[in-house]
Amino acid sequence: MKDTHKSYLFASLTIIFWSTVATAFKVALGNASIPQLLFVASVTSLVTLGGFLIAGGAKRLLMQSKADLLKSAILGFLNPFAYYLILFKAYSLLPAQVAQPINQIWPLVLALLAVPILKQKLPRTTLTSLVICFAGVALISSQGDVNIFGKSSPLGVGLALLSSVVWSVYWLTNVKDERDNVVKLFTNFAFSVLYMLLLSPFVDGFYSFTIEGVASSAYVGLFEMGLSFFCWMSALKYAKSAAKLGLFIYMVPFISLIFIHYVACEAIRSTTFIGLSIIVAGILYQQKDLLLKKEGRSVE
């Protein structure tokens, strides 16, 4: 099989996995509490990443310094611990078709936060993209009501937006960490599991798991956090153009609507599809200069 075909195969698997997770979040939240969901998902992902680590040489894990462990303690707190607690709470307050598209604005948030964190210049298209994306967010949140929060929880929308900020801070901080990706992620998830264990005495019924709750939470850990990482990294490894491959990710929220409708049984509103299209258009507009440069074309 050619490298290009391998790249598209792994990218397709990643898209399928990620397209199901919004629905999986809602199903899991119907069978487990938010702390239980994050704990089981984190443990599942830790085991999955541990398998990749062993396959590539587990000795790499022991070569980390105290500074590396401190980084993972911080990064593991940001993601998955804080990020998913916030995101799962947003999903518990909002329909999946509202929470998932709002969370998709993270590439734009990433570009904005790169200014103070990485000392990068603010791209000329970012502010315009911000207005476009928030128009999409407003449309999705309103669900057709003149009052923007008439049919959506303001707290839920705020948390969905906050999750994008936490995710962006995590990746901007992570970019300065030069350790092997699998080693970093495994150690980060190990700290997240530790944080959940420290939190457990303060959560009523934390260890009162159900079979349905464990199964649905494990699915989230495997396909949102663990296996999808391996597939996406493999897709990038074999890709001739990472820029072109990155565009495939914007298929995820649209395919997600199919699972949300048929599995989570939500009636998909026209405002969701239109608003999501606006958000994706805004993100692509913000990234157009980068994409054109990677293709070796003029941006003028």
pLDDT tens digits, 151-174: 678 899 899 999 999 998 998 888
The pLDDT score that the predictor gives to residue 107 is 76
CA terminus-to-terminus distance, the chain: 38
pLDDT band, very low/low/confident/very high, at 103 (cuts 50, 70, 90): confident
Kindly give the residue spans of alpha helices, DSSP state H, lying in the chain.
Answer: 3-29, 34-56, 59-62, 66-76, 83-93, 96-103, 106-117, 126-142, 154-174, 181-199, 211-220, 227-238, 242-247, 252-262, 270-294
d(CA 257, CA 267): 9
Local confidence band at 298 (pLDDT 50, 70, 90 cut-offs)? very low
Share of the chain above pLDDT 90, in %: 40
Q: To the nearest whole number, what is the mean pLDDT of the chain?
A: 85
Question: pTM for the complete prediction?
Answer: 0.85
**299 pLDDT tier (thresholds 50, 70, 90):** very low
If pLDDT is split at 50, 70 and 90, which confidence band does 227 have? Answer: confident
Least confident of 88-102, 121-135, 177-191, 224-238: 121-135
Structure-block tokens of residue 265: 């049984």
Look at 272 and 38; give whichever has higher pLDDT: 38
User: What is the per-residue pLDDT across 66-91, written as a single tens digit (0 to 9) for each?
Assistant: 999 999 999 999 999 999 999 999 99
pLDDT tens for 198-223 read 999 999 999 999 999 999 999 999 99
> 96-103 and 252-262 are packed helices; what angle lies between their axes, rounded to 10 degrees?
170
Q: Report the percent of the chain where pLDDT is more than 70.
A: 90
For residue 297, pLDDT beyond 50: no
Q: Evaluate if residue 266 carries a pLDDT over 60.
A: yes
Q: In angstroms, what CA-CA distances link 1 with 21, 180, 229, 238, 271?
A: 29, 27, 21, 11, 42
The pLDDT-based confidence of 115 (bands split at 50, 70, 90) is confident
Burial class of residue 292, CB neighbours in 10 A (0-12, 13-18, 19+): middle
Q: What is the mean pLDDT of residues 215-244?
A: 83
Mean pLDDT of 253-277: 89
